[in-house]
A and B are shown apart, each in its own frame.
Chain A
């Protein structure tokens, strides 16, 4: 099996290297073929691995393939741990990646950086696979950083755009905060366990339960709680949980295919995956679970609210991603890891679908992303419309769609959870369902149904749009034409341009993603209540809410019927109804409401002031501190005394020593005799 796993990982890497290093030689067609071939191989083999593990009963594979070095008993290795969880993640990652690769052919057709783009997304696939297949913390960290790097490169893909550069720096820096916590968490564990290996670490959990770490003089805390919270800070950065979420909305500066792949389906779920993979550790620290629960619930509700005031179609989907990641996080906090992973999987499908559908709309509108300029597209883009509708229904949890099962399971699980904070979380995620439905169908109605030109962009709320420091809609119009489509300017001036359905390379991935968006929910039984995750996830029996749920589980039909009697479905439907009322039936009402509740809208447009706080207090403070240190520490002490001072003295010394080499033979011979005498003197 070694060969198979290695091929899965390496095939995309080879594709990325070939397309990246020899992109100019092999041309556009060559780059697209080689990367799609690489990812296709990875996908095909992943299907086989999934089959072998889930249905063929293949044993869990946990082997080291390469030892980099051994230092002080700690082994630095590359190894694979493949069990049902890994197999599932591999399948999701390679499938979505393959779809995105194909879609890219259509989306990036006119882009000068075509080969570079393919190289990056293939590289991303490699890094993500390394992350999910890791059997040790080192490789996990490698994958973690590598996906972060590729994400950075891709957000700033159009690096001629200042807003894209701003966004990728922001993503990078915010992730630094998370990763700092993450590596500290790993370090804390390694310090006490002396190993980087998962299995060896888990085996020591019982012994570490009582371990205390002195944080500062006279104050101790539990090692596991400390380590888990630090690890979770890493997850907060990568999976964009409050307050480290600020980078994700801006990441929409990148091309749409990567928003689908990286910032919706795969990379942002790395945090969720990591917590689930390390469930034996997290289970040992109920305090951390409470923290996770509350952070997740806050993200789920408050990030959803922000989606209500956005006009950029991609940003609406981005806020929706933040909110759904919050749901997954809540599930982890409630110890319903399987439900979180289940939602991760369904979300990967329907959110990738929604992003790609949004991309399809954007292509049709000639790279216009403002929903107020759209409308009535359902007639001209039937495939995009139907698939987007499927994605939206799955997202709001319409009974029978994939999202219904996963979201319902999470809500039910939280209702049963007895951890501190569970009640609070339950209220928030329930309210979140309503909000989700409202913003999702606001988007669907605005894009596909409203009569075109209903909303002028110079209406009252445009004034507020300028409040949002990162609403870059306007940048796009100015930056876009020279970079990509020369006729975009014309489109703006002449809104009568008729959009049309996208080419098959775009619509086929949409259709292929729509299928699992509908059907993926049917595996709810085995995944949540069956033995799919046996031996993979560890759950304290006292907190095993999914097992409690499973007692009353009686098949798909029963689950749906039960769901129909619970509040989430009705909340979702009323959200849809309200969206219909506000955006189709009475389209002038939103303006009226906004005018009345001006301060609420201002808060939402400012995204609760996180960006302002970060920019003024954190960034401003750091810059001021940096200036001070630079002036005093760097220029005077380090540059003046240490660097230049030492360099000057060493340079002077070097000149002096150089003079020792006089070039006279007798000096040399004398030096030798002198050396001989020194040795001789040592005899005494």
Chain B
């Protein structure tokens, strides 16, 4: 075995994140937690710097390094940029929330967020089963800790415990699936795996024992992936975690981390095991149908907005899974587009909740009641966000749904497309209910204080972007098209 020096420059952003993350950790030991602005500023600086490195180190064409364990390509650049931007926005939304709650460990919050971002980066750029798992676990451990961060709040601890146990279970299943794959092919690298499968001679015959082994491998892998995405029936952690965690963490899990989850699926299932599409399509279909059904129906019964958004996430994941199910480049493209749109919208929706959180944490429909009366602009932004989630034209959410349906129809899956549309209509109910509560009901609470200026600005950009990109969907479509 020869040792060649890896091309570190391709991973410059990861190295930067790691270095500054450790620095922040050290700093937190010496600096008083009261110096919030310093911690906040340094985190934002780290993210901005990482964005610079991502763009600086983006290669002309797809390149591998670290003995083919790491890949840098357009997909990675796009997803990493999205992760960084959304994380930065999340931190803006979060700043005043943390300032109002001095009992929360702030330094740990920022360090964990930065390491979670690092974990996502590794997942996004992973090119072997090993790195995939490494990134996944780094992300997951950070998230467990983040959920449990609010130690004095029992529901948070309960949620963290559930999240951890179920996550460990899913992780174990995923790892088991990976070990079967390794046993069958003797490789960890995704492209060797793909090459192995694309060779018709080595493709398992239906009915053979190898085929059965592949089936087992796929089953275990898919359970792990479905858990990370939060697809039914591996979704049970989602509502509890969303509700139990403090809103900034929910925001992070609900929007940013979904990008990494999709990256995991795209790398493992499409890049690595694309040749076995026929075998995993059926499983994806079950996941999609169940997620659409349960997500939309259960959301109707929720009074807590964070919980409602959790079920709405599950329903959206159903849409993403449907797009992946199509197993065509158009379908993958639709999935990527959908998840980006979803992450942007979800970030905004939790952002509104954070904007409304004074001492009291806004999280139920009652907190939004008559919002138009107190904060008309916030109410308008929430209206845009909800309408986009419901998929009303001309907002961006409409296009996301449209191209998923298009990808399905191109493959002749009319029944599935109709099913998705029907459940979108049912889903529109709970989004519209939020709008109704904001605009047509009289407020019961006193007005919450005016949100910080940077928060309002970021939130306005977030909401208006949905309108602007909805009118000019070509901009984002061109970006995502370039990837596939």
User: A residues within 8 Å of B by Cβ?
Assistant: 67-69, 650-651, 653-655, 657-658, 660-661, 663, 665, 667-669, 671-672, 674-676, 678-680, 682-683
Inter-chain CA distance A676–B297, complex, in Å, is 23
A-B contact pairs, 11 of them (CB 8 A): A650-B300, A653-B297, A655-B301, A661-B298, A668-B236, A672-B234, A674-B233, A675-B234, A676-B220, A682-B283, A682-B286
Partner of A683, one of B215, B234, B473: B215
Contact A672–B219 (Cβ < 8 Å)? no
Q: Does B226 contact A (CB under 8 A)?
A: yes
Residues of B near A671 (CB, < 8 A) are 233-234, 236
Interface residue ranges of B57-115 to A (CB < 8 Å): none
Residues of A near B286 (CB, < 8 A) are 678-679, 682
Interface residue ranges of B215-258 to A (CB < 8 Å): 215-216, 218-220, 222-223, 226-227, 233-234, 236-237, 239-240
Contact A669–B165 (Cβ < 8 Å)? yes
User: With A671-B233, A675-B234, A679-B219 in contact, do A663 and B240 touch (Cβ < 8 Å)?
Assistant: yes
Beyond A671-B234, A675-B223, A679-B218, 13 extra complex contacts between A and B, CB < 8 Å? A650-B300, A654-B297, A658-B302, A668-B166, A668-B237, A669-B166, A669-B169, A672-B223, A674-B233, A675-B226, A679-B219, A682-B283, A683-B219
Residues of A near B240 (CB, < 8 A) are 661, 663
- Within the complex, the shortest CB–CB distance from B384 to chain A, in Å, comes to 17
Partner of B222, one of A68, A657, A658, A679: A679
Annotate B9-41 by CB proximity to A: 1 below 8 A, 0 otherwise: 000000000000000000000000000000000
- 7 nearest A-B pairs in the assembled complex, by CB-CB distance: A668-B236, A683-B215, A654-B301, A675-B233, A654-B300, A658-B301, A679-B219
Contact A650–B166 (Cβ < 8 Å)? no
User: With A682-B283, A683-B219 in contact, do A672 and B166 touch (Cβ < 8 Å)?
Assistant: yes
Tally of contacts, chain A with chain B, CB under 8 A:
80
Inter-chain CA distance A657–B240, complex, in Å, is 15
Q: Does B186 contact A (CB under 8 A)?
A: no
Contact B236–A679 (Cβ < 8 Å)? no
**B-side interface mostly:** helix
Residues of B near A668 (CB, < 8 A) are 162, 166, 236-237
Q: Does B309 contact A (CB under 8 A)?
A: no
Q: How extensive is the interface on chain B, given as a class?
A: 35 or more
Contact A654–B173 (Cβ < 8 Å)? no
Contact B166–A683 (Cβ < 8 Å)? no
Residues of B near A67 (CB, < 8 A) are 474
Residues of A near B156 (CB, < 8 A) are none
Inter-chain CA distance A678–B287, complex, in Å, is 11
Inter-chain CA distance A68–B474, complex, in Å, is 8
Residues of A near B239 (CB, < 8 A) are 661
Residue of chain A at shortest CB distance from B236: A668
Q: Does B52 contact A (CB under 8 A)?
A: no
Inter-chain CA distance A672–B168, complex, in Å, is 12
Residues of A near B169 (CB, < 8 A) are 669, 672
- Within the complex, the shortest CB–CB distance from B274 to chain A, in Å, comes to 19
Inter-chain CA distance A674–B226, complex, in Å, is 13
- Within the complex, the shortest CB–CB distance from B232 to chain A, in Å, comes to 8
Residue of chain A at shortest CB distance from B214: A683
- Within the complex, the shortest CB–CB distance from A658 to chain B, in Å, comes to 4
- Within the complex, the shortest CB–CB distance from A665 to chain B, in Å, comes to 5
Annotate B291-317 by CB proximity to A: 1 below 8 A, 0 otherwise: 000100111111000000000000000
Residue of chain A at shortest CB distance from B280: A679
Q: Does B282 contact A (CB under 8 A)?
A: yes
Q: Does B212 contact A (CB under 8 A)?
A: yes
Partner of A650, one of B223, B297, B302: B297
- Within the complex, the shortest CB–CB distance from A647 to chain B, in Å, comes to 8
Inter-chain CA distance A675–B170, complex, in Å, is 12
Which of B218, B226, B298 has its CB near the most chain A CB atoms (within 10 A)?
A: B298
